[in-house]
Structure 1
Amino acid sequence: MSRSGRTAVVAVAAAVVLFWLFGFWPALAVLIGIPVLAYLLLDPAQRRRVRGVSRKRIGR
């Protein structure tokens, strides 16, 4: 299985566990909040690099 496939499987499993333990809204806040917080903690050069990779993958 590819790396992105494994990441997707782990994300879905984490979502199911969070929904089961905490309910819909708290789990949704965690699932959206963690990636947003991680992005905001990057310095501007790292953010540019992340945005550049995303654009390259869209064209494939």
Structure 2
Amino acid sequence: MSTGKKLLIGAGGFVLAWWLLPTWLIVAIVVGVPVAAYFMLDESQRRRLTGRSRRRSIDY
């Protein structure tokens, strides 16, 4: 599947969720999933991720 199709499906899912779910639940999902994923990392993985963000390899 091409990248464009993946983005289109993701955007369609977001619009559908926005229409069906309350706004507070969408905000909780958008904020909660990355936070939960960060806390699931090992200490060494968190350290490596923090080091990459300090070197500006990735943006927050």
State whether TM-score is above 0.5. Answer: yes
Matching residue of 1:40: 39
The structure in which a higher percent of residues are helix is 1
What SS does the corresponding residue of 1:57 show, helix, strand or coil?
Answer: coil
When normalised by structure 1's length, the TM-score is: 0.65
Distance in 1 of aligned mates of 2:40 and 2:50: 14
Alignment gaps of 5+ in structure 1: 1-5
CA RMSD of aligned residues (A): 2.4
**What one-letter code is carried by the residue in structure 2 that aligns with 1:36?**
V
When normalised by structure 2's length, the TM-score is: 0.65
Alignment gaps of 5+ in structure 2: none
Number of residue equivalences: 50
